[in-house]
């Protein structure tokens, strides 16, 4: 790689000006390489030169942005030889040709002007996609109802304009779901606002994904939000659909992205689907065993005191609870790792917890710190979990499980 070499002597010479009243030279007080243009210097009534500070500031403005050039010396400008200074360098444009995955960022941008919230959504999308033009990174597609001003500056690699988004929410959600499917989007982000938030929820339902609403912290590895009236923090790997809370994530403040316009027509696929697409407005039944622990309202959990895991799953299902486990059980491979409750597993926001054969180690209890109703079954009267429980059953879990199942089957 060839690098430009600076010649410090010629730069030094370039900064010298004739000293007043002598034939010698002195260093110019302004340390920039560039001489002050004549347009910036006016002569005052006393005959002394005066600088116009406004013009000087205007010279430092970075074209197309509201910020000033950070390097005010001008030395970093392309020095092409003996201290010569050329015009300001062109800003590097980030072009992502074939990203590994896509992140869709839905913005409202009324009148084509992105709101601060829209900018934050793009900032979050950029965090999930990575800086771009790097192996293993993603690309960001900005999706809006009308063309958005300065999409590249917001961090968008592609731009899709879907006028249907401004109309009927059912058709809009279908168009967005088709778009997400078309690009196999890994993430779909929207601002948590009445309209965009509603659209995100409808789209997530069509994609059969659960929506992570009001994310407050976003990184490539995890997202977080507050739960339980702000007492708890829920963290997890970034899900497919999420909305971003206002003023929670910084807007993209880095490189200029390509914002290449893509033509996409969702009309064909949505027109047929929109008529009569609502089959039911009632709650949809879901297998509790597939609900993430962080979203569960009631968790039935097994510890080392449980030996019959088929019976345990049967009981959890009959109780309508989401199955959980202690670390010992997960370590033994008897339950999947994502079922681990505790400090190094999932911290629950559930209202109820049913612990079978769990000792109540501090790391486990941290996971249920916010749970109001705890029922514990343990053979040891002095177990910490028995102490924590509002209802304790000192008995063998293997005997309690079938007994409970029998009672449930009998409808009691």
By the criterion CB under 6 A, which residues form the site for ligand FAD?
Answer: 303-305, 326-329, 340-345, 357-359, 361, 363-364, 367, 377-380, 383, 396-398
In the complex, least distance from residue 358 CB atom to ligand FAD, rounded to whole angstroms: 4
- For the record, the structure tokens of 253 come out as 């403040």
Q: Cα–Cα distance between 244 and 215 in angstroms, integer? A: 5
In the complex, least distance from residue 278 CB atom to ligand FAD, rounded to whole angstroms: 42
Residue number, 33 or 397, with CB nearest to ligand FAD: 397
Of 127, 161, 171, nearest to 141 by C-alpha is 161
Residue number, 104 or 341, with CB nearest to ligand FAD: 341
Residue number, 120 or 398, with CB nearest to ligand FAD: 398
Residue for token pair 């403040």: 253
DSSP secondary structure code for residue 397 in this structure: H
In the complex, least distance from residue 236 CB atom to ligand FAD, rounded to whole angstroms: 15
Residue for token pair 């959600």: 173
- Asked whether 348 and 367 are in contact (CB, 8 A), the reply is yes
| SS3 readout for 186-201 | CEEEEECCHHHHHHHH
How far is Cα of residue 401 from the mean position of the Cα atoms in its chain? Answer: 42
Residue number, 288 or 359, with CB nearest to ligand FAD: 359
In the complex, least distance from residue 360 CB atom to ligand FAD, rounded to whole angstroms: 7
Residue number, 203 or 301, with CB nearest to ligand FAD: 301
Residue number, 124 or 386, with CB nearest to ligand FAD: 386
In the complex, least distance from residue 387 CB atom to ligand FAD, rounded to whole angstroms: 11
Q: Cα–Cα distance between 36 and 374 in angstroms, integer? A: 75
In the complex, least distance from residue 300 CB atom to ligand FAD, rounded to whole angstroms: 14
In the complex, least distance from residue 407 CB atom to ligand FAD, rounded to whole angstroms: 18
- Asked whether 137 and 130 are in contact (CB, 8 A), the reply is yes
Residue number, 59 or 327, with CB nearest to ligand FAD: 327
Q: Which residues pair with 311 in a beta bridge?
A: none
Q: Cα–Cα distance between 370 and 294 in angstroms, integer? A: 12
Classified as helix, coil or strand, 170 is helix
Q: Cα–Cα distance between 22 and 37 in angstroms, integer? A: 23
């Amino acid at each position: 790689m060839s690098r430009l070499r600076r010649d410090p002597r010629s730069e030094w010479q370039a900064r010298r000006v004739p000293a007043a009243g002598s034939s010698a030279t002195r260093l110019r007080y302004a340390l920039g390489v560039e001489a002050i243009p004549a347009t910036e210097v006016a002569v005052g009534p006393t005959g002394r030169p005066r600088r116009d500070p406004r013009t000087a500031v205007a010279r430092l403005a970075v074209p197309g942005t509201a910020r000033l050039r950070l390097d005010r010396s001008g030395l970093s400008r392309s020095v092409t030889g003996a201290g010569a200074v050329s015009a300001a360098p062109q800003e590097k444009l980030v072009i992502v040709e074939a990203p590994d995955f896509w992140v869709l960022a839905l913005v409202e941008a009324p009148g084509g002007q992105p709101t601060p919230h829209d900018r934050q959504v793009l900032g979050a999308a950029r965090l999930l996609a990575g800086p771009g033009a790097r192996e293993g990174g993603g690309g960001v597609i900005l999706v809006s109802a009308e063309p958005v001003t300065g999409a590249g500056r917001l961090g968008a690699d592609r731009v899709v304009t879907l006028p249907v988004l401004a109309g009927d929410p059912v058709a809009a959600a279908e168009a967005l779901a088709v778009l997400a499917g078309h690009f196999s989007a890994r993430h779909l982000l929207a601002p948590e606002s009445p309209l965009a938030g509603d659209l995100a929820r409808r789209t997530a339902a069509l994609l059969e994904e659960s929506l992570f609403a009001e994310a407050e912290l976003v990184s490539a590895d995890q997202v977080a939000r507050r739960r339980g009236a702000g007492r708890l923090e829920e963290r997890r790997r970034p899900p497919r659909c999420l909305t971003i809370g206002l003023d929670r994530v910084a807007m993209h403040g880095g490189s200029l992205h390509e914002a290449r316009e893509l033509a996409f027509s969702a009309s064909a696929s949505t027109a047929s689907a929109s008529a009569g697409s609502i089959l039911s407005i009632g709650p949809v039944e879901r297998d509790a065993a597939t609900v993430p622990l962080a979203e569960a309202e009631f968790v039935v959990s097994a510890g080392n005191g449980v030996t019959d895991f088929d019976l345990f799953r049967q009981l959890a299902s009959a109780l309508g609870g989401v199955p959980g486990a202690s670390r010992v059980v997960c370590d033994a491979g008897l339950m999947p790792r994502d079922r681990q409750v505790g400090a190094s597993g999932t911290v629950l926001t559930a209202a109820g917890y049913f612990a079978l054969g769990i000792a109540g180690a501090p790391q486990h209890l941290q996971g249920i710190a916010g749970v109001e109703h705890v029922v514990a079954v343990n053979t040891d009267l002095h177990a910490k979990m028995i102490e924590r429980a509002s209802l304790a059953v000192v008995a063998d879990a293997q005997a309690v499980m079938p007994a409970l199942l029998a009672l449930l089957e009998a409808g009691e």
